[in-house]
Amino acid sequence: MYSDIVLPTVTWYEKNDLSSTGMHSYIHTLSEAVPPCWESKTDFDIFKSIAKKFSELAEIHFDKPVKDIVSAPLMHDTPAEMAQVSVKDWYKGECEAIPGKTMPNIVVVERDYANLYNKFISLGPNIKNNGLNAHGISWEVEDFYHELMHNNNYVTWDGNQYPSLETDANMCNAILHLAPETNGESAYRAFKAEEEKTGVPLIHLGERNRSIKYSFEDLQKQPRRVLTSPIWSGNLNDGRTYAAYTINIENHVPWRTLTGRQQFYIDHEGFIAYGENLPTYKPKPSPEIIADLLNSPKDSKSIVLNYITSHGKWQIHSTYFDNLRMLTLSRGIGAVWINDKDANQIEIADNDWVEVYNDHGTVVTRAIVSARIPQDLCIIYHATERTISVPKSPIRNNNRAGGHNSLVRLRVKPTLFMAGYGHLTYSFNYWGPTGVNRDTYVLIRKLEEKPRW
C-alpha cells in the first residue's frame, strides 16, 4: 500500500539462508526445500539482478571509477563520542566545522559502479589483506580466504580470482568459514588478539575448538551450537548455557566502554538535557502529554489504557498465518490482551468483541483477559497481517478497522519492498513499530453486538 516498487520474494522454504539470535546458542539454516514459485525470486537473487542491471547501465554513465565524498559518523564507545564537550551546531555557526570533532569525519570513497555486479558475486581482497576486525581487535584470515577457492569455487574478473559468492549457499559458507562463532581456528586467533590487547590470559577459551569448522551442509544435517568467541561475551564451553558477560566477569576482561568499566553516570550536557545521564525511575507520560485522545469519544463504557505492541505471536515468525491450521492455534485474529481487573471495569469477558481506538485509528478484535497483563495496559502483538479478520468499526461509521499500526503515529515510507507469501521480508525498509511502543494511549470498549464484516 505504501511502496513505490513491489517485488515478489519467496518464503523461508524456497531459499538458502542463515539465522541466529542472542536468545539461544544455535545457528539455523533456511534450506530450499522447493524452488521459488511462479515469478518470485529469493532476496539474494533480487539484489543480484539489480546489481547486474545497474552495472550494465553504469558502463554507459560511469565506465571508470569515480570518487565520492562520504560523511562517517562519530562512533559510540570510541574517543570520538567525547570529542565535543559542549553540544554546538557548526551548520548554524555556533562553532567551527572540524571533521571528527564538531561534525562527522569526511572520507573519500572510490565507487567502481561498472563492476558492482562483479563485486557482489565475489569476496574482495580486503579481508585477505586486512583480516577480520571487531570490537577493536583484528586477526589474520588469509589462509581461510584461499581455502574458500578450493574445488574451483571462484570467479574471475579484472584478471584476478576471488572466492565465489554467486549463490546464496556460497554466501552462507563464506560467512561460516570466516566467523569465529563457526570456525574454531578463527575464534582462537581472535582470543589471541584480545589477549594481546587486554593483557589477560584468554586463548584457553578457544584452544579446544580449534579443529571445528561448520559448513552450510553441516548445519542442514544437524543443529550446531556456536563456538565461544570474544566477539560475544558469553562462555559456551562444556555445554554451558549462554549468559551475557560471563567472559568479562570470570576472566576479568575490560568492558567495551572507553574506561573499560561499567558506567552509570554520563556527565554530558546532551544526556543531561534529556534526563538520561543517570538511570532512574521515570513515570510514563500522561495521556495529556502524548495527546493521542483529543478527538476520541470517551464515556463510562470505555477506559484509557497504555498501548504496547510486543513481538508477534503466531504471525511474523510463522509463514501462512492465514491458513486454517495456524488460525486454529490462536483466536483466529490479532487479539488484544488486557488485565482482568481492567476488563471488569467495563464488563469485558474473555473472547468478547472489543474496539480499541484513538485519534490515529481503530482496531476491532477479540479480548484476551489475563491477570498476567499489568493493569492500565493492553497489548496487541506486533505485525499482524491485514489479509484476514478485519471487521468494520462502529465508531468509524462502519468503515473497515485498521491493523494494529493504525493506532500509532509512526509512518515511514519505504522506497522498495518485497512481499512474500504470508510474511514480510525485512531486507528492505519496513514501516510501523518495530517492537515495543509504550508512548501511545488508546481507549477500549466492549461491542454490544458482533461486528459487521
431 with 412: CB under 8 angstroms?
Answer: yes
Give CA separation, 155 vs 57, 128, 369, 425, in Å. Answer: 22, 16, 59, 29
Q: Residue 210: inside a domain, yes or no?
A: no
Most confident listed range (305-314, 322-331, 394-403): 394-403
Higher-confidence position of 437 and 448:
448
Instruction: Give the residue-averaged pLDDT of 214-238.
Output: 94
Q: Residue 257: inside a domain, yes or no?
A: no
Q: Residue 326: inside a domain, yes or no?
A: yes
Q: Name the amino acid, one letter, at 16.
A: N
At residue 417, the pLDDT reads 39
* Confidence grade of residue 318 (pLDDT, cut at 50, 70, 90): low
At residue 93, the pLDDT reads 95
Q: Residue 346: inside a domain, yes or no?
A: yes
139 has pLDDT over 70: yes
232 alpha carbon, distance to own chain's centre: 17
- Please write the tens of the pLDDT for every residue from 324-339: 777 787 787 888 999 9
d(C-alpha 311, C-alpha 318), whole Å: 13
Q: Residue 332: inside a domain, yes or no?
A: yes
433 has pLDDT over 60: no
411 has pLDDT over 50: no
Q: Residue 140: inside a domain, yes or no?
A: no
Length of the chain: 453
44 alpha carbon, distance to own chain's centre: 17
Q: What is the pTM of this model?
A: 0.76
At residue 370, the pLDDT reads 96
- Mean pLDDT score of the chain: 87
At residue 313, the pLDDT reads 58
Domain that holds residue 408: 288-446
At residue 314, the pLDDT reads 59
207 has pLDDT over 80: yes
* Confidence grade of residue 315 (pLDDT, cut at 50, 70, 90): low
* Confidence grade of residue 426 (pLDDT, cut at 50, 70, 90): very low
Residue-by-residue DSSP string for 367-418: EEE-TTSPTTEEEE-SS--TTS---EEGGGTTEEP--GGGGS------S-EE
Higher-confidence position of 254 and 1:
254
Most confident listed range (41-55, 377-391, 436-450): 41-55
Alpha helices in 125-208 (DSSP H): 126-130, 142-147, 168-178, 184-198, 204-207
What is the total count of domains within the chain?
A: 1
At residue 449, the pLDDT reads 87
Among 7-11, 351-355, 399-403, the range scoring the smallest mean pLDDT is 399-403
At residue 412, the pLDDT reads 42
Contacts 24+ apart (CB under 8 A), 220-224: 220/29, 220/31, 223/26, 223/27, 223/28, 224/26, 224/27, 224/182
Among 116, 1, 49, smallest CA distance to 417 is for: 1
At residue 453, the pLDDT reads 82
Among 410, 430, 408, smallest CA distance to 419 is for: 430
Among 9-13, 58-62, 96-100, 349-353, the range scoring the smallest mean pLDDT is 9-13
Q: Residue 401: inside a domain, yes or no?
A: yes
At residue 1, the pLDDT reads 67
- Please write the tens of the pLDDT for every residue from 6-48: 899 998 889 999 988 777 789 989 999 999 999 999 999 999 9
Instruction: Express as a percent the part of the chain with pLDDT over 90.
Output: 60
Higher-confidence position of 302 and 411:
302
Question: What CATH number does the domain containing 391 carry?
Answer: 2.40.40.20
292 with 359: CB under 8 angstroms?
Answer: yes
Among 71-85, 96-110, 249-263, the range scoring the smallest mean pLDDT is 71-85
277 with 271: CB under 8 angstroms?
Answer: yes
- Please write the tens of the pLDDT for every residue from 177-204: 999 999 999 999 999 999 999 999 999 9
429 has pLDDT over 60: no
72 with 104: CB under 8 angstroms?
Answer: yes
At residue 116, the pLDDT reads 96
At residue 154, the pLDDT reads 94
At residue 416, the pLDDT reads 40
Q: Residue 308: inside a domain, yes or no?
A: yes
